[in-house]
Amino acid sequence: MTRSQEIIGLFDKYVMPTYGRYPLVFVRGEGARVWDAEGKEYLDFGGGIAVNVLGHAALASALAQQANVLVHTSNLYYTEPQGLLAKRLVEMVGIPGKCFFCNSGAEANEALYKLARKFGNESGGRYEILTFIESFHGRTLAGISATGQENVKKGFEPMVDGFRHVPFNDLDAVAKAVGPKTAAILVEPIQGESGIQPAKAEFLRGLRRLCDDKRLLLMFDEVQCGIGRTGEFCGFQSIAPDVQPDAIAWAKGLAGGFPIGAIWARTPYADVLQPGSHASTFGGTPLACAVALAVLDTIQQKKLMQNARDVGNYFMSQLRGLKAPTIKEVRGLGLMIGVELTVEAKGVIARLMESGLLTIPAGATVVRFLPPLNITRAEVDEAVHKFREALRQTAA
């Protein structure tokens, strides 16, 4: 029995089978590469699903430094890293506001739902949040209620009340759906899980106008597309930088793999959630915030958003240049790229894995590439070569 088989055996026996996992056991990583328990090397273009923005083994010094000083105190007290991280996030958004910290994307969105409900209830008994068909907002009960995909809801009914799904990139449909109980609109500027579907600039601008007209909060779920991935700090800034949201949720890449989630809300909505209205024991620990600050420092110092733009454009042009008959469309922004195939993505992803390239499926037919933001052109060339071969074998 191999070491991988032994470890998979532990999962079969002791870990709840909530995930459909690939039969790979990883033991070590460095930069954009990971190694399995038998020592086979993989180029990691899945990036832990848009989390490992600096690649692997990149957080050790920030973690060790803060771990030697202060790990956790609770939110009954103040700590400097949380204050500094909030300041940095407000600066990155560029609009006056404040932040709240939690531990994951679903939890960040949960804070948005509560912000919207409190705002809505206080402004005329409104509670409904419009979200989009094919959206994804997380796996908590409110998360699956907000998510516009039936498969995540099945078996968990009844859903949390107050979410309605409307067609993405269809402003007329959204305008028609707004009712007297609507308090907010929550949208992913680039839908990730459903296969990398960017919102149109005019759509985001139209949502802003609609929210202004109807006094609704415009909330962006930047959990997957944020933190520099699209070439700007926020995904919406790559699409329509003139659009000013009222609130934003982040998680995934914020601390490069250390768990953290956060929301930002614009003044005056930043003060809607008052003492006693929301909390998280682990939210914004000095450890998580210090690591996030170090990640954001590195992104800025090493100009990784510029790299995401440049290498992302190069990557996209190389993929478009493949002209394989099994490629239907290449789409995305920066280093958030989806290739829609005319065949099921599953087989291609398995072939890529065999050849030592990790990618992520989205929907049935999309292969997603979410590499670290410091990925190089040489690594992209290597990935494109493996992708070309996998498509060639699929077509054959």
223 touching ligand PLP, by CB under 6 A: yes
Nearer to ligand PLP, 105 or 334 (CB): 105
Q: Are 192 and 225 in contact (CB under 8 A)?
A: yes
Residue number closest to ligand PLP, CB atom: 105
Could you tell me which of 183, 164, 180 has the C-alpha nearest to residue 114? 183
138 touching ligand PLP, by CB under 6 A: yes
Identity of the amino acid at 316: M
Q: Are 35 and 29 in contact (CB under 8 A)?
A: yes
Nearer to ligand PLP, 54 or 362 (CB): 362
- Where b means 16+ CB within 10 Å and e means fewer, 30-49 reads ebbbbebbeeeebbbbbbbe
Q: Minimum CB separation from ligand PLP for residue 13, in Å?
A: 25
Selected range binding ligand PLP among 24-32, 130-138, 288-296, 333-341, rule: CB under 6 A: 130-138
| DSSP single-letter state for residue 199 | P
Number of residues that bind ligand PLP (CB under 6 A): 15
Q: What gap in Å lies between CA 305 and CA 309, rounded to an integer?
A: 6
- Which listed residue (189, 192, 332, 338) binds ligand PLP by CB under 6 A? 192
| DSSP single-letter state for residue 345 | H
- Which listed residue (251, 272, 333, 352) binds ligand PLP by CB under 6 A? 251
User: Who contacts 8 (Cβ-Cβ below 8 Å, separation ≥6)?
Assistant: 23, 25
Selected range binding ligand PLP among 102-110, 205-213, 331-339, 340-348, rule: CB under 6 A: 102-110
* Per-residue interface string for the shown chain with ligand PLP, residues 46-65, x marking contact by CB under 6 A: ---x----------------
Q: Minimum CB separation from ligand PLP for residue 178, in Å?
A: 22
The helix-helix angle for 286-301 and 60-67 (nearest 10°) equals: 150
Q: Minimum CB separation from ligand PLP for residue 396, in Å?
A: 33
Q: Minimum CB separation from ligand PLP for residue 49, in Å?
A: 6
Selected range binding ligand PLP among 116-124, 132-140, 355-363, 368-376, rule: CB under 6 A: 132-140
DSSP H helices, 123-223, are 141-146, 171-177, 201-214
Subset of residues 332 to 351 that bind ligand PLP, contact rule: CB under 6 A: none
Q: Minimum CB separation from ligand PLP for residue 31, in Å?
A: 23
Provide the binding-site residues for ligand PLP, judged by CB under 6 A: 49, 104-106, 109, 136-138, 188, 192-193, 221, 223-224, 251
